[in-house]
Chains A and B, each alone.
Chain A
C-alpha cells in the first residue's frame, strides 16, 4: 500500500506503452559503467561461442553483408526512462543463431563486450524476432557512446540487456549472471513486471 505524498499531482502522461514506473523521454540518455571503448573495424569480429569453442564468427564486412532489418521499437531503461519508436538497423539474432549448431541443453546466453561488460539472457529471448545485433540508429551508424560499432538490441527487456559494444555471445548449459546482474539488478529484467532489482 503506497503512502500518499501530500500535494503531489505529477505530470500524468498516461501512455499505455509506458511500463510501470517509467516516464517518457524524448532524448537518448547514455549510461555506461566506464569509458567508451575504441573499436578497430579492421580487426572487429562478432562470434558465437559455446563450451570453449567458437561456433561461428563474422568480420565487420561479413556482418554488413548479412540481411539487415529496420527495427522500430520502444526501449525501456531501468533508470526509469522509456523512449518510444526508436529506429534501429541491424541483423536479427535468428539469422546469426541459425548459422550455428546448438545443443538442446545450451539454453543460456552470456553476451561479452569490449570494456569487459557482460549480460545474461535466456537463449529463447534471442530468438523469434526479438533480438538483433544493431549497428545503425536513426538512419546513421550507431555512435560509440550508444554502443557502436554494434550492440545487442533486446527491446522487450530492460535496456541494460541490450549490451553496448558487443563482441561475443557465449552459449551455456547454466545461467551465468552478467555484470549488473551480479551487482543487484534482476536476472531477467522484464519491464512490464518491473523486474529492476534482485527480488523484484
Chain B
C-alpha cells in the first residue's frame, strides 16, 4: 500500500467484539475552558481511535490500591487518536466539568500534572455517535457540558469537510460557563450556531434569556421535513424536555439520539 490510509475506512467501528484493556494515559496539555472545566490532552499508546460522540472510562488508583472510575466524553474529533503514520503517539482530548463534591473530576482538573499518568479504556458507546460518511443533515442540541461529545461531532464534521448540513443549538447558563466559545464562532458560516443563555447573556446582549422551548427549537433547528439526525446531550431534565418537544414538532423519534449526564434526577 502506497496510498495514504483511507481515513473514513479507519473510522468504521470494529466489526467483531474485542476487549477494552486499560491503557496508561499521560497528560501532555491542560487548558482551562471555564472556571470549572478543563480540557485534558492525553497521550495514549495503543489507542485504537474513536468515533465522534464516544466516551472513555477513567480509573484513578491511590498508592494503597484504592481506585475510582468515572466516564468522560471525548472532545477530540474522530480522526484524532488514529494511528496515522508519522503522527507519533495517539492523542485524545477529554473535557472534564467539575462535579460539586466530585471524587474524580476535581483531581483531573486541578491536581493532575503534566506528565502524570492515569488509566483509561475505550472508546465506549457506539450509539451516540456520528459517522463522518453520513450525508444526512445533523442537528446538535447541547445543555451545559453536554456540549462536549457534540463538539467532537462538530470538529469531526469540520475536519473531514463533510457537506452534511449541521446546526448547533447550545444552552448554557452564562458566558463564563460557556465551553469552546471562540471555536464555536469559527464554525460559522458553514455551521449555524445558536446560543441560549439560561441565566445571563454577555454584556450588551439584547436577545432572550431563558430555557429552550418548542418555539426556539422550531425557529433554530433543522426542520423535521429535512429528516435530520438529532443528537441531544445534557442534564436529564434538559434532555427530557428537548426530546419531548422535538417529537411534538414532528421529528421522528427514531432519528433522535440522547445522552444524559450532569446533575442526577430523583
Which residues from chain A sit less than 8 Å from chain B, CB to CB? 2-12, 21, 23, 25, 27-37, 79-81, 115-116, 145, 179-180, 183-184, 196-200
The answer to whether residues A28 and B71 also contact, given A3-B24, A8-B111 and a CB cut-off of 8 A, is no
Q: Which segment, of B3-11, B164-172, B254-262, faces chain A?
A: B254-262
Set of chain A residues within 8 Å of B33, measured between Cβ atoms:
none
> Which A residues are CB-close (under 8 A) to B65?
2
* B contact residues vs A (CB 8 Å cutoff): 17-20, 22, 24, 57, 59-63, 65-71, 103, 107, 111-113, 116-119, 124-128, 236, 239-240, 243-244, 246-247, 253-254, 256-258, 260-261, 263-266
- The SS class assigned to the B binding surface is mixed
Grouping DSSP codes into helix (H, G, I), strand (E, B) and loop, the A interface class, with mixed when no group exceeds half, is loop
Task: Name which of A21, A34, A79, A81 has the most chain B CB atoms within 10 A of its CB.
Answer: A34
**From A37, which residue of chain B is reached at the shortest CB distance?**
B253
**Docked complex Cα distance between A51 and B247 (Å):** 34
Residue in B closest to A8 when the chains form the complex, CB atoms: B60
Distance in Å: Cβ of B158 to nearest Cβ of chain A: 26
Q: Identify which of A3, A27, A31, A200 gathers the most chain B CB atoms within 10 Å of its CB.
A: A3
Q: A27 to B266, Cβ gap below 8 A?
A: yes
Inter-chain CA distance A21–B24, complex, in Å, is 17
Please report the C-alpha to C-alpha distance between residue A30 and residue B265 in the assembled complex, in whole angstroms: 7
14 contacts between A and B (CB under 8 A): A4-B62, A5-B116, A5-B118, A8-B61, A9-B62, A10-B103, A21-B59, A23-B69, A29-B260, A34-B253, A79-B71, A81-B264, A179-B127, A183-B127
Given A11-B68, A80-B69, A145-B236, A34 and B265 touching (CB < 8 A)?
no
Smallest CB-CB separation from A25: which chain B residue? B264
Q: Return chain B residues, CB-CB under 8 Å to A34.
A: 243, 253-254, 256-258
| Top-6 shortest CB links A-B | A199-B19, A27-B264, A198-B17, A35-B243, A183-B126, A2-B61
Asked if A29 meets B60 with Cβ closer than 8 Å, knowing A34-B253, A34-B258, the reply is no
| Shortest distance from the beta carbon of B138 to any chain A beta carbon, whole Å | 16
CA distance A64 to B127 in the complex (A): 34
Return the contact of A5 from the options B112, B126, B239, B261 (Cβ within 8 A): B112
Closest Cβ of chain A to B30, distance in Å, is: 15
A79 to B58, CA, bound (A): 11
